[in-house]
């Protein structure tokens, strides 16, 4: 039952991200291609002009493959023990917070439950204040935060953790789209109707590509988690069938 509910949530998120991602591609401001321009992220270089866009992203693909293999090896020992995975995360020095109605509180400041990249300015000040009062039980005043995890104070299931960890290690491995600017651009359109007129009008070409990178990373995290769930749940059913068949033959 839990698996079905989680997968329904992830599938809805996936549909939204795909719709928004396609809209970004459709709205790339090609009319700005009057002179040669270069957009660079951590692993990709795009040379853009009026007639063509060349993309060099071999490093991105290599890092994604390495990340997925690393995640598979890490999670195989924790699929039935999300609380142990949380302990592992804290032991590794990751900042992990749990608080009441975390998802609703984060939504009010334009963030999502799970992994948060570093914040700056007023948003960081507000989040530090909230964490100080609700979790640390002390006053924290700072206009910067480091990367962290924030979850609801209920029992955390393995798939929400897996998705958050995928993002964390993607950020740590310097995959494009996790940098501050890309994240802030993405947050400006997150939850908005992809078909909203003029949604991308104020975005420069570089902003559009930065947003596309951030959207791609979100899609990859969901795709990985859904694939992980399907493989794991499928193996459990296969194992149960073997046990049932053996019992029937005794």
Ranges of each domain in the chain: 2-239
Contact, 165 vs 115, CB < 8 A?
yes
Contacts 24+ apart (CB under 8 A), 1-5: 2/157, 3/159, 3/229, 3/233
Place 106 in a pLDDT band, splitting at 50, 70 and 90.
very high
The percent of residues in the chain predicted with pLDDT above 90, rounded, is 54
Q: For residue 4, what pLDDT is reported?
A: 72
Whether the pLDDT of residue 25 is over 70: the answer is yes
Residues 6+ apart with CB under 8 A from 96: 86, 89, 90, 148, 149, 151
Least confident of 53-57, 91-95, 173-177: 53-57
Nearest-5° Cα angle at 131, 125 to 136: 130
Contact, 94 vs 149, CB < 8 A?
yes
Q: For residue 44, what pLDDT is reported?
A: 58
Q: For residue 246, what pLDDT is reported?
A: 44
Q: For residue 45, what pLDDT is reported?
A: 53
φ, ψ dihedrals at 45, nearest 5°: -120, 130
* Residue pLDDT, tens place only, 221-240: 999 999 999 898 876 664 45
Contact, 46 vs 38, CB < 8 A?
yes
β pairing state of 148-152 and 37-40: unpaired
DSSP assignment, residue 137? S
Helix (H) or strand (E) holding 210: helix 205-249
Whether the pLDDT of residue 172 is over 50: the answer is yes
């Amino acid at each position: 039952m839990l698996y079905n509910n989680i997968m329904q949530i992830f599938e809805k998120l996936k549909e939204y991200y795909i719709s928004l991602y396609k809209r970004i591609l459709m709205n790339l401001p090609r009319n700005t291609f009057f002179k040669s321009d270069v957009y660079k992220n951590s692993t990709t270089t795009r040379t853009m002009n009026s007639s063509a866009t060349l993309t060099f992203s071999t490093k991105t693909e290599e890092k994604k493959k390495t990340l997925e293999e690393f995640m598979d090896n890490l999670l195989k020992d924790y699929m039935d023990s999300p609380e142990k995975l949380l302990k592992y995360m804290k032991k590794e020095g990751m900042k992990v917070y749990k608080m009441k109605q975390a998802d609703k509180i984060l939504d009010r400041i334009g963030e999502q439950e799970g992994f948060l990249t570093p914040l700056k300015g007023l948003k960081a000040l507000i989040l530090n204040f909230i964490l100080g009062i609700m979790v640390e039980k002390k006053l924290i005043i700072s206009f910067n935060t480091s990367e962290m995890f924030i979850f609801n104070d209920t029992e955390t299931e393995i798939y929400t953790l897996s998705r958050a960890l995928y993002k964390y290690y993607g950020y740590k491995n310097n995959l494009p789209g996790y940098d501050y600017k890309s994240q802030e651009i993405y947050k400006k359109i997150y939850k908005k109707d992809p078909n909203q007129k003029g949604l991308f009008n104020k975005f420069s070409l570089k902003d559009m590509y930065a947003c596309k990178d951030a959207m791609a990373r979100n899609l990859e995290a969901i795709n990985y988690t859904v694939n992980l769930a399907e493989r794991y749940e499928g193996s459990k059913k296969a194992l149960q069938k073997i046990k049932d068949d053996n019992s029937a033959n005794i």
